[in-house]
Structure 1
Amino acid sequence: MPARTPAPEGRFHLPTTPKTARWGTLPHPGTSPVLMVGDRATVTVDTVSHEGILEDQGRDPVRFFGAYGVAERDVLTDARDIASSALERDPDADGPHVVTGPIAVTGAAPGDLLKVETLSLYRRADYGIVSSRHGRGALPDSFPAPDTAESAATRRLPSGAVSTFCEVQVDGKGRPLGVIPYGTTGRAARFPLRPFMGVMGVTPADEQPLSTVPPGRHGGNLDVKVLDTGTALYLPVQVEGAGFYTGDPHYAQGNGEVALTALEAPLRATFRLTVLKGAAARRAVGLIDTPFGESETHWVAIGLHEDLNEAMRAAVRAALTFLTSRVGMDAASAYAYLSAAADLEISQVVDQVQGVHCLIRKSDIGELPSEIPLQKGEFMSDTTASAVCAGTEGTP
């Protein structure tokens, strides 16, 4: 059953072209926006997956996917355009991701939060790729294995990378499934799809363009699978206009993303971009000053670090900051609650900077206080606390 991508749902529609995209690096303060929108604008972005267009895959998506039986007409035109373009990318230094943007949001300034709501995600193709390459992933000493057996689904490329083709099928109940065949008896692993955008971020303040691979305070390549349709990501704005960008679309990912990539495939994504200032920002996340997520059922505190243990600690600290500065819990009670009830999950272990996210059930907390319970304590600086008490900090 082919993907039927509906018409763009946003007020603005942003295709991915050589003029609206970057390949392998993030925008920087000198990057001109490809689109300017007002606060609370909705934008539909047609995102492009890097799998099938990279140099180690021949930079020819028609030929690459044709080897798996994909007809030329089913290879996206924008993927072909990016692959054949003159977009600059250093394969040795830059990331693999195609990022679309930046989008400037009127009124956004450093010190604000950009609230990115993912309103809808639709498949643009009926297939995707999972790749293992460069001795990276959770088992870099073992994969990709030099003796990998090729099959109709798995190919070993001249570079040594191994790419596994994954078809999308729909079961009897109309649910789309990813299908990875294995063996010679026609068996296959079938798993539910859960599309999400791996890269969502604001423009970093760094003057030199950063690689798309490591996530950071700017967001970027977070690869947090729970940030799917109906969720929000809060990002601390670092440059005027925020400079939102997105890319690295996924149809599915297991926590950890152990092989190096998820099921990489193109999505039509619609976002609402809202600027939160002062008290409005504090009402959303308290004193959190790092990427923070929210779904209908959970708050999502995110920890990032090159060391996975430190990423876990960062997620705990972020969760404590939220619970103390927004919910109003004392630190000891919050720490006990996290140990008794919160779930810390490994987001990914493959992006140089590793990620852990902490899931806090909203039903455990109930209604948040109408007044923001900001008080002096170990998770608030005296400067910030004094300013808040005096009513001079962050006036909207």
Structure 2
Amino acid sequence: MDVVEFRPEPHQFAWTFGGAAPTHRIKPGTALKLWTEDAFSGSLQRVTDMPSQVLDMTEVNPQTGPFYVEGAEPGDTLAIHIVDLTPARDWAASTTIPFFGALTGTDRTALLQEPLPERTWIYQLDRAKGTVLYEARNLSLELPVAPMLGTVGVAPAGREVRTSLVPDKFGGNMDTPEMKAGTTCFLGVNVEGALFSLGDGHYRQGEGESCGTAVEGAMDVTVVVDLVKGGAPEWPRLEHDDHYVVVGSSRPLEDAWRASQMGMIAWLGELYGLDRLDAYQLLTQISLSPLANVVDANYSAITKIEKALLPAADAYGGMHRHLRSLSKGLV
């Protein structure tokens, strides 16, 4: 297996999906050992750092990549298997940002109210315990580390260039805790080479990411990338050992949920030959609907099905199982 290691310099980050030149050309089946910067570009380091004073909003959510995958053509399916996510620093940051988050007025829900006060929290990582320390003015808690990637995506169709803050059919800033080690992400290829990027490491995040920021930290990332000819899904699909997952992103939130539900109906049809109404009926009885984010430019909702409730199947010819096998010994 080819192994590519890449630790980008600040000038090498991508800030968009589409419109950025590839940093590398790789073959399907390549392992990537990468480093990603946190969503704040490392600028929030102390509780006295306020976003309005230190953040450059043109340099938030930096992405590592994009990577050009040889042989990838529009209509194909890119498979990105997350082998390992390891915090790359012993601290991470979270914050409230004026007019940003689920429980405050924003530029899209304009209200006659002042923004919530800015506040920054710095979480100290205890590697031996596998915890991060939440510290409030009157309470401290050790919370289990649960590393995830907020952002995984490919270049959009139609020559679009989208900010790395936006999730959509191409993936992007979905902010779902399902994007963890052991997960394979399937994305439809829209342009030659796919041009995929990833970043926005979270040491942990609750479902919904309600204040708009997780425990944001730099991450060491190991993935294996492969290609399925044809079969491009309309919406991002995730598979891990126990579940099938579809992510839908839109506004309002119910449309994001509907997109994820429709995406799962299509996948059930592919896996088991069910027509739409039979798949719809099955979905109604067994699906879970956790939220990913309700704060990004588009909201992201999840439809999730437990594999144990279904007959055995080989999504994309067993690609998830194949990549799990390939990844042994990489970490």
Q: TM-score, normalised by structure 2?
A: 0.85
Q: List gaps (5 residues or longer) in structure 2.
A: 106-112, 318-331
Equivalent of 1:183 in 131, 137, 144: 137
Deviations 1:336-361 (A, max 9, x none): 22222210111100112001111111
Report if aligned partners of 1:305, 1:353 keep a CA contact under 8 Å in 2: yes
Report if aligned partners of 1:133, 1:143 keep a CA contact under 8 Å in 2: no
Letter in 1 for 2:173: N
Letter in 1 for 2:153: G
Alpha-carbon shift at residue 323 of structure 1 (Å): 0.9
Q: How does 1:204-243 map to 2 (within 5 A)?
A: 204-207=156-159, 209-243=161-195
Letter in 2 for 1:167: Q
Rounded to whole Å, the distance in 2 between the matches of 1:40 and 1:371 is 15
Which residue is 2:122 aligned to? Answer: 165
Deviations 1:97-144 (A, max 9, x none): 111111111101111010000011111111111111131111114896
Equivalent of 2:64 in 97, 100, 118: 100
Aligned in 2, Cα 1:371/1:110: closer, same or farther, shift over 3 Å?
closer
Residue 309 of structure 1: SS of its match in structure 2?
Answer: helix
Residue 130 of structure 1: SS of its match in structure 2?
Answer: strand
Report if aligned partners of 2:72, 2:189 keep a CA contact under 8 Å in 1: yes
Rounded to whole Å, the distance in 2 between the matches of 1:370 and 1:47 is 29
Residue 252 of structure 1: SS of its match in structure 2?
Answer: coil
Which residue is 1:324 aligned to? Answer: 269
Alpha-carbon shift at residue 309 of structure 1 (Å): 0.9
Which residue is 1:195 aligned to? Answer: 147
Which residue is 1:315 aligned to? Answer: 260
Report if aligned partners of 1:108, 1:275 keep a CA contact under 8 Å in 2: yes
Report if aligned partners of 2:18, 2:159 keep a CA contact under 8 Å in 1: no
Which residue is 2:39 aligned to? Answer: 50
Alpha-carbon shift at residue 222 of structure 1 (Å): 1.1
Rounded to whole Å, the distance in 1 between the matches of 2:316 and 2:187 is 22
Equivalent of 2:84 in 109, 120, 124: 120
Report if aligned partners of 2:13, 2:64 keep a CA contact under 8 Å in 1: yes
Alpha-carbon shift at residue 223 of structure 1 (Å): 0.9
Rounded to whole Å, the distance in 1 between the matches of 2:202 and 2:252 is 25
Q: How does 1:11-26 map to 2 (within 5 A)?
A: 11-22=3-14, 24-26=15-17
Letter in 2 for 1:357: I
Rounded to whole Å, the distance in 2 between the matches of 1:269 and 1:143 is 39
Alpha-carbon shift at residue 371 of structure 1 (Å): 11
Letter in 2 for 1:180: Y
Which residue is 2:104 aligned to? Answer: 140
The number of residues matched between the two structures is: 306
Rounded to whole Å, the distance in 2 between the matches of 1:129 and 1:308 is 27
Letter in 2 for 1:232: T
Alpha-carbon shift at residue 225 of structure 1 (Å): 0.7
Alpha-carbon shift at residue 207 of structure 1 (Å): 3.4
Rounded to whole Å, the distance in 2 between the matches of 1:370 and 1:97 is 31
Alpha-carbon shift at residue 369 of structure 1 (Å): 7.4
Report if aligned partners of 1:10, 1:44 keep a CA contact under 8 Å in 2: no
Residue 65 of structure 2: SS of its match in structure 1?
Answer: strand
For the pair 1:292 / 2:237, whether they are aligned, the reply is: yes
- Report which of the two structures shows the higher radius of gyration computed on alpha carbons: 1
Aligned in 2, Cα 1:365/1:97: closer, same or farther, shift over 3 Å?
same
Deviations 1:157-195 (A, max 9, x none): xxxx3211111225xxx44112112234xx312221111
Deviations 1:82-108 (A, max 9, x none): x9xxxxx973xx562111111111101
Equivalent of 1:111 in 64, 75, 79: 75
Q: TM-score, normalised by structure 1?
A: 0.71
Letter in 2 for 1:359: K
Which residue is 2:282 aligned to? Answer: 337
Letter in 2 for 1:11: V
Aligned in 2, Cα 1:231/1:370: closer, same or farther, shift over 3 Å?
closer
Rounded to whole Å, the distance in 1 between the matches of 2:255 and 2:292 is 13
Q: List gaps (5 residues or longer) in structure 1.
A: 1-8, 58-63, 69-82, 84-88, 147-160, 282-286, 373-396
Report if aligned partners of 2:17, 2:153 keep a CA contact under 8 Å in 1: no
Alpha-carbon shift at residue 325 of structure 1 (Å): 2.5
Alpha-carbon shift at residue 312 of structure 1 (Å): 1.0
Aligned in 2, Cα 1:216/1:143: closer, same or farther, shift over 3 Å?
farther
Alpha-carbon shift at residue 32 of structure 1 (Å): 2.3
Rounded to whole Å, the distance in 2 between the matches of 1:215 and 1:19 is 23
Rounded to whole Å, the distance in 1 between the matches of 2:99 and 2:316 is 51
Letter in 1 for 2:152: M
Rounded to whole Å, the distance in 2 between the matches of 1:369 and 1:44 is 27
Rounded to whole Å, the distance in 2 between the matches of 1:240 and 1:370 is 23
